[in-house]
Amino acid sequence: MVQSTGPKKIKCAVFISGTGSNLKSLIRFSNKKSSPISIELIISDNSKAKGLNFGKIFKISSKVFDFNNKSFSEKKIIYEIKHKDIKLICLAGFMRILSKDFIKNFKGKILNIHPSLLPKYKGLNTYQRALSNNEKYSGCTVHFVNSRLDSGKIILQKKVKISKNETPKSLAKKILIQEHKLYPKAIRKVFNL
């Protein structure tokens, strides 16, 4: 567990690849007085990620690394993170798999949000796979990141009921609403606040 050290907020980086709706909800959360975190850095592997706009709107420093040379990009990210004294990394729709070495550098300090009730439906296409299996429920999970995909210790989950005529799109929408509430809750849980 990461320890909170008094009233000072824990510096956090959020990694995104796309829309960044979870990033937005995390920024809103971090701006609350009672929040244990402050977001100091946004990292993206995609210069076209819509979510990068939130960096501009909320005046948070953003950096793009193309990941064509993964180990080079990761080295630069590690430098940035250590330089800024960042103690927590939140993956939020980040579509790259971080290397074992990278993860080792931040053991127990990287969280991810995934749109299924893990350990079910690791990886991609979670909505379609849940529907094809006639699941009654799906949902979302916040977990610690380890070197195996979507397999780290679960922090919190939220169940979502699958309706009769559910489509992958409608299910994704329902789950996303819950993701925005679950990620902040999970962060509070990690820091015992």
Active-site residue among 83, 114, 143, 180?
Answer: 114
Is 143 an interacting residue with respect to ligand GRF (CB under 6 A)? Answer: no
Residues in the chain: 193
Closest residue to ligand GRF: CB criterion: 93
By CB under 6 A, residue 179 contacts ligand GRF? yes
Candidates 16-24, 36-44, 60-68, 153-161 — which segment interacts with ligand GRF by CB under 6 A? 16-24
19 binds ligand GRF (CB under 6 A): yes
CB 75 within 8 A of CB 96: no
Stretches 6-14, 69-77, 109-117, 149-157: which one binds ligand GRF (CB under 6 A)? 109-117
Asked if 150 touches ligand GRF (CB under 6 A), the answer is no
Percent helix, strand and coil across the chain, each to the nearest 5: 35, 25, 45
Q: Is 113 in the site for ligand GRF (CB under 6 A)?
A: yes
String of DSSP letters for 59-97:
T-EEEE---SSHHHHHHHHHHHHHHTT--EEEESS--SP
Return the SS3 of 37. strand
Classify 15 in phi/psi space as left (phi over 0), alpha (psi -120 to 50) or beta.
Answer: beta
Stretch that binds ligand GRF, among 12-20, 56-64, 71-79, 130-138 (CB under 6 A): 12-20
CA-based torsion, 113, 114, 116, 118: positive or negative: negative
Q: If binding is defined by CB under 6 A, does position 115 make contact with ligand GRF?
A: yes
Nearer to ligand GRF, 22 or 73 (CB): 22
Binding of residue 22 to ligand GRF (CB under 6 A): yes
114 given a catalytic annotation: yes
**Complex with ligand GRF: residue 75 or 158, whichever CB lies closer:** 158
Sheet with 137-144, strands from edge to edge, namely: 61-64, 37-44, 10-16, 88-91, 110-114, 137-144, 154-161
Q: Give the residue numbers annotated as catalytic, written as ranges.
A: 114
Q: Could you list the residues that contact ligand GRF (CB under 6 A)?
A: 16, 18-22, 51, 92-93, 113-115, 140, 176, 179
